[in-house]
Amino acid sequence: MRILVVDDSALYRKLLSDAASSVPGAETVAVSSGELALKRLESEKFDLVLLDVFMEQMSGPQTLEKIKQSHPALSVVMVSGATGRDAEITIGCLAHGAMDFIPKPSGSSFESGMEALKSEIRKVATLARLRCASSSALHAAPEPSTPSATAPIKRLQPPPFPELILIGVSTGGPNALSTILPIISANLPVPILLVQHMPAAFTKSLAEQLDKISGLSIKEAINGEIPMPGEVLIAPGGFHLEIFRNDAEKIQTRLTSSPPVQSCRPSADVLFNSAAKCNLRGAIAIILTGMGSDGADGVATLQHALPTWCIAQDAATSTVYGMPQAIAQRHLSNEILPLQEIGPRINQLFRL
């Protein structure tokens, strides 16, 4: 794997290069500007770009735009601080083609900061390899799969009166959500509850940016609120989002700090499992791009508990075909759709 580090700080170039050397078999090249990065990409092949968000000449977002114009399939990961401004710009980059982001080292211990950075870079290098593998798999014959012994009987029609839309998404989520949510009618008669795997601070910026481009009302969920029709509540980073029936028989939110599930907090499985206990008339579950299998157990629980229609994103349009693939392999999906068809399909299901 060849990794290109782009940062105008000599210190961070060295830190990122040293951390990237922990990726087995990796060769790292570091440059000090977006212009130099574009020149290297013209003449050399790289598998992963680690791109600083703030650079004095050509900024990270500007460099990302030019990289995506010339090398649309190349995996680009933003390197970001955790301040509000950094988070806002990083979310914008994720919505415009960056595969993921990693935080710059922080904290009082240099050693622990470097270990965390190495872990993050190994993770995104794995994601980049998975993207290459997924792309190759699209051209190979599909392997047969066996339905799970515990899979519910597949519904032939969507439930006529679903009360909720539940969405689980991870890597590639900001881009997927910025494609889907603006298409959904503002007259949607039910709430949307959404889990995006993302740290604290970034989910707030994500909600704010999505709210600007959608007719729906989109915000971070808070503890104890009543989800309203046409509203999208995003689980805040670092907390599980659950729902329950209150004494007035209304659906109400609950945020918890219980242990991660599927190595995730927030976790789609936690949200979906809580919805399965709410005696709903029906639900629409949507599983989008992401690494791992979070959401699959939750969808199975929902389908056993209540009328549930599951839509999974297809492999061709997924940044990482992990979460939707887990749904497909367990035969839990009622429909497998390309990203651009999911928003219109939601409108169609609700006759909007």
Which residues are known to be catalytic?
Answer: 170, 197, 294
Residues with Cβ within 8 Å of 238's Cβ and at least 6 positions away in sequence, in order, are: 199, 200, 257, 265, 266
Eight-state DSSP code of residue 285? E
CA distance 343 to 352: 11
In degrees and rounded to multiples of 5, residue 5 shows phi and psi of -100, 130
**Alpha-helical runs (H) found in the chain:** 10-20, 34-43, 60-70, 84-95, 110-137, 173-180, 202-213, 268-275, 296-305, 323-329, 339-349
Task: List the one residue out of 191, 211, 214, 215 whose CA is nearest residue 203.
Answer: 211
Angle at 9 between CA 5 and CA 14, to 5 degrees: 55
